Structure 1
Amino acid sequence: MSLDTVVEDIREEAHARAEDIRAEGEARAEEIESAAEEDADEIVSDAEQAAEREVEQLREQRLSSAKLEAKQKRLEARRDVLGDVREQVEDELAALEGDTREELTRTLLDAASGEFDEGDDVSVYGRESDQELIESILDDYESYEFAGEYDCLGGVVVESDQSRVRVNNTFDSVFEDVWEDNLREISNQLFDQ
């Protein structure tokens, strides 16, 4: 065997070995590339799912916020309507006149007079424009006198130093009680609940 043959055999063996190493390298590179592609696909899928969850969560937050804002506006509008109704009723109470005003004022004074002892000096206050009406009603009461103006829609405030009692029987106070006691029903009728 000649040296050339030995060199040729070594070369062939080296080429074969190099070819095996290259084939193994390519196979390993394909495995690595395939695993990297699988990892990349999983990362993309996870990112898409996370983005979808975030979008859904953001949508839910905005929807919830919009519902809350709508509810607040609805409540605000209802408060405004109730305020307008209350103001209209107060205006109508202030505008009462004639027999109706006299009858209501007399009824409120009668109710208040039950709180005082006979012989007490009783002071009666009322709306300035009702002074004449109140004085004419007080002609029926002994020891009662009109003592001055009271800022109200109508009715009377009655007090006595002897019994240390003060009774507020104004249209305002009666209306306030009726309003508070019936607010839910008023609201239900106005808003059909």
Structure 2
Amino acid sequence: MGLEIVVKDIMDAAQAEVARLNREADAEASLILNDARQNAKKIVGERLAKAEDDIRKMRQQETSSANLEVKRTLLNARKELLEDVYARAEKSIAAFSQEKNRELLKSIIEKNEASGKRIYSNAASEKLVRELTSLEYAGNIDCLGGVVIENEDGTVRLDYTYDVILRSVSEQLLKQTSDILFG
């Protein structure tokens, strides 16, 4: 029986050692799992923060792009409207009555004929221009109306065509026109 007690004591000691090793292994495994969980949480948090930052940047880029596109569309619409107003002004000028055309041409010629030798106009106004001036009629030009007065050697040309006057007024008053139309 003495041997059985020794075997039992060895077995009890071995089981106690196994139990202790299992507890230590379980504790170490628990620590390793906790560390792994903490690392996983940290990695997930970092990736989530990066994803949120990427989303924020993308949203900001998309918003900026959309705002730029809206501004571009608005500017194009305004430009088209201003071009339409300009075209309507040209049509209104082209539709001047004979009397209105006579009045404007007379005023332009009286103020400027002393500066010139020759005068040009569009074909529709030729007869009227010849009546209103003593300058040499030099020919027809393609314009809405008005005249071009040239000095004797052709080095100075005073362009009083309605096209040039309209363009000049349009450029000078572009901001005011835009403010009126678009506030």
Report the TM-score, using the length of structure 1 for normalisation. Answer: 0.87
Q: CA deviation at 1:162?
A: 3.8
SS at match of 2:137: strand
1:51 corresponds in structure 2 to 51
Residue identity in the other structure for 1:174: I
1:170 corresponds in structure 2 to 161
Report the TM-score, using the length of structure 2 for normalisation. Answer: 0.91
Residue identity in the other structure for 1:13: A
The range that moved more, 7-16 or 57-66, is 7-16
Aligned length: 183
1:190 equivalent to 2:172? Answer no
Q: 2:111 and 2:138 mapped to 1: Cα distance?
A: 18
2:29 corresponds in structure 1 to 29
Residue identity in the other structure for 1:75: L
1:137 corresponds in structure 2 to 132
> Do the aligned partners of 1:153 and 1:172 also contact (CA within 8 Å) in 2?
yes
> Cα–Cα, structure 1 residues 43 and 88, in superposed 2: closer, same or farther, change >3 Å?
same
> Do the aligned partners of 1:108 and 1:170 also contact (CA within 8 Å) in 2?
no
2:77 corresponds in structure 1 to 77
Q: 1:164 and 1:39 mapped to 2: Cα distance?
A: 87
Q: 1:47 and 1:13 mapped to 2: Cα distance?
A: 50
Q: 2:156 and 2:47 mapped to 1: Cα distance?
A: 78
> Cα–Cα, structure 1 residues 47 and 89, in superposed 2: closer, same or farther, change >3 Å?
same
Residue identity in the other structure for 1:135: R
2:122 corresponds in structure 1 to 127
RMSD: 1.8
Residue identity in the other structure for 1:152: C
Q: CA deviation at 1:76?
A: 0.3
Unaligned runs of 5+ in 1: 117-121
